[in-house]
Structure 1
Amino acid sequence: MTIARGLVAGATLDALTGDPRRGHPVAAFGRAAAALERRLYGDSKVRGAVFAGLCVLGAAGLGAASRGRTGPVAAATWAVLGGTSLAREGRAMRAALEAGDVEAARARLPHLCGRDPDSLDAKELARATVESVAENTSDAAVAPLFWGALLGGPGLLGYRAVNTLDAMVGHRSPRYANFGWAAARADDVANWVPARLTGLLTVVCAPLVGGSPREAYRVLRRDGAAHPSPNAGRCEAAFAGALGVRLGGVNVYGDRVEHRPALGDGRPPEPDDIRRAVRLSRAVGLAAAGLAAGVRLAFGRGR
């Protein structure tokens, strides 16, 4: 009961306030992880695994100190959720594109993803935004709630540690190809179920943005596995089907170029589709919060 109340209270707090401008707990974790990286770094998978293990166990241990009390669980839930901030970034991108300010949209895109924005036009910026909103709906909302429902405080903070480490070191660059391997694989494992749950919740919520659950499920089943990521494709394919758009194409990350397969059968996204994607993302996050609390309540009654 206390964990369920904490999850609902934390999700409500995130919906009302979003992330703080300064002093975010996840940023503090990132600074601590960066300091540890400087001490442990080596071009070795073993060193990277030790680094990731220490960071995740430390965060999970901090979550265990909550002992399932409502207040600490609510605070942890608020700290790890990012659905409101994700929606704000999506709205900012939409406003810039609708105003015809491509330069402002390019400057804003790094808040959402690591794609190189310099060569992107308005249509490609809209596609990048919809894809990022879809993928991050799992990372920022569904996945932390899933692990919170399953493991309480340790699940909430442990998941966010895994996801943050993947963003920090889980790259295919020469520096992190080995050292970041464990963090990247841990993130794949931690998001496997939540990404598929995100896809299914997107199917259920499709009518809220004028979409068809049948079409969203069809595209999810057909295209979800085509994406090079084992998890992001499920989210993006479901969003493509629900919104009636086509995602995928050429993505540039610095000096690396990736050719993503097409997801969906519709037209390319437009700025107004960002509004619909944000609305869909918020609906999926709300559904995930209700589901997480319900699962935790059922678990408590079973015990």
Structure 2
Amino acid sequence: MRGSAEGLVGGVVLDAFLGDPRRWHPVAGFGRVASAGERFVYGDSRWRGVVYTGVLVGGAGALGVVIERVSRRFGVHGLATAGVTWAVLGGTSLGREGLAMARALERGDLAAARERLPHLCARDPKGLDAPGVARAVVESVAENTSDASVAPLVWGAVAGIPGLLMYRAANTLDAMVGYRSPRYERFGWASARLDDVANWVPARVTGGLVVVCGGSEAWRILRRDGKKHPSPNAGQVEAAFAGALGVRLGGVNAYGGRVERRPEMGDGKAPEVRDIRRAVGLSAAVTFAAAALIGVLR
């Protein structure tokens, strides 16, 4: 565990300084493999989706076992863990994307902000005004603090390199085929449910770390509003962020012609542009708190 803990913390440091690899990103490579597999396996049925998800996530785990064993044999397990952690984390890139959105809105370039929003979430940006974009960004930064940062660290602490790779594979598949649409209603069911299960504990760990970093109001709103969200996991993190930032999240969201009314969380006003920077700062604090916790518990 010592090598794993040091590697996980080292991966957080690498991500903080380097962000995502600009070329030959392993997650992007996995996405290309998954897209090719979808063309081969796809069918409008759950069982095909189960096979698709099982093969890809299982394959990622098998690769992780190989890397783990080889790295231990050659005495570089800590370095290998750090490298894989860096590859699967996305906290720094999440923060950079949030800050880019903030700068666009601060200079009044709503068109640029709308164009960039799909980098963060699947929400339809066409009808959003500046406050609407700001809310979308704050909510996305909150939810992805768990998905991009804390959850990989949790699974890395539990299951080492295989845990890191299997979690990122499951989360990537959820982003690709797990959302509801006529094409993926059945085929994407397994990926979506696996992602829910994989994120159940990490989302609650993230909510707790937001409370630690953000104060007692985060705890109050988390307890009151955390279960209002239709997602069993996103609501935990978004509610905690709403309390910590003193804003109100939730409302009407449009996704490619489909409109959803989300329950509101928090007692403050709707997010403003300045709240994007505050959300990014809180996200970074939570990520480093997670790394510190792993270091303490190693």
TM-score by length of 1: 0.94
Q: Which residue of 2 aligns with 1:252?
A: 254
1:159 and 2:161 are equivalent in the alignment: no
Q: Tell me if structure 2 keeps the 8 A contact 1:7–1:148.
A: yes
d(CA) in 2 for partners of 1:283, 1:104:
28
Q: Which amino acid aligns with 2:43?
A: G
Which stretches of structure 1, 4 residues or longer, exceed 3 Å deviation after superposition? Answer: none
Q: 2:96 aligns with which of 85, 88, 98?
A: 88
RMSD: 0.8
Task: Tell me the SS of whatever aligns to 2:260.
Answer: strand
Q: Which amino acid aligns with 1:5?
A: E
Q: Which amino acid aligns with 1:62?
A: L
Q: Which residue of 2 aligns with 1:301?
A: none
Matches within 5 A, 1:68-217: 69-206=77-214, 213-217=215-219
Q: Which residue of 1 aligns with 2:37?
A: 36
Matches within 5 A, 1:16-27: 16-27=17-28
Q: Which amino acid aligns with 2:290?
A: A
C-alpha deviation, 1:37, in angstroms: 1.1
Q: Which residue of 2 aligns with 1:300?
A: none
Q: Which amino acid aligns with 1:31?
A: R
Residue-by-residue CA offset, 1:53-88 (whole Å, 9 max, x unaligned): 000011111111222511211111001100000000
d(CA) in 1 for partners of 2:113, 2:22:
20
Q: Which residue of 2 aligns with 1:209?
A: none
Unaligned ranges ≥5, structure 1 = 207-212, 298-303
Task: Tell me the SS of whatever aligns to 1:10.
Answer: helix
Q: Tell me if structure 1 keeps the 8 A contact 2:131–2:270.
A: yes
1:227 and 2:229 are equivalent in the alignment: yes
Q: Tell me if structure 2 keeps the 8 A contact 1:149–1:293.
A: no
Structure-2 change in CA distance of 1:293 and 1:49 (3 Å): farther
C-alpha deviation, 1:294, in angstroms: 3.1
Q: Name the count of aligned residue pairs.
A: 290
d(CA) in 2 for partners of 1:294, 1:164:
29
Q: Which amino acid aligns with 1:251?
A: N
d(CA) in 2 for partners of 1:48, 1:100:
43
C-alpha deviation, 1:159, in angstroms: 0.1
1:272 and 2:280 are equivalent in the alignment: no
d(CA) in 2 for partners of 1:273, 1:155:
33
d(CA) in 2 for partners of 1:122, 1:30:
32
Q: Tell me if structure 1 keeps the 8 A contact 2:21–2:87.
A: no
Q: Which amino acid aligns with 1:171?
A: Y
Percent identical residues: 67
d(CA) in 2 for partners of 1:161, 1:128:
25
Residue-by-residue CA offset, 1:270-292 (whole Å, 9 max, x unaligned): 11111110000000000111222
d(CA) in 2 for partners of 1:134, 1:150:
23
Residue-by-residue CA offset, 1:216-244 (whole Å, 9 max, x unaligned): 10100000000011100010000000000
Q: Tell me if structure 2 keeps the 8 A contact 1:63–1:76.
A: no
C-alpha deviation, 1:7, in angstroms: 0.6
Unaligned ranges ≥5, structure 2 = none
d(CA) in 2 for partners of 1:260, 1:171:
16
Q: Which amino acid aligns with 1:110?
A: P
Q: Tell me if structure 1 keeps the 8 A contact 2:27–2:87.
A: yes
Q: Which residue of 2 aligns with 1:210?
A: none
Q: Which residue of 1 aligns with 2:292?
A: 290
Q: Which amino acid aligns with 1:71?
A: L
d(CA) in 1 for partners of 2:29, 2:294:
26
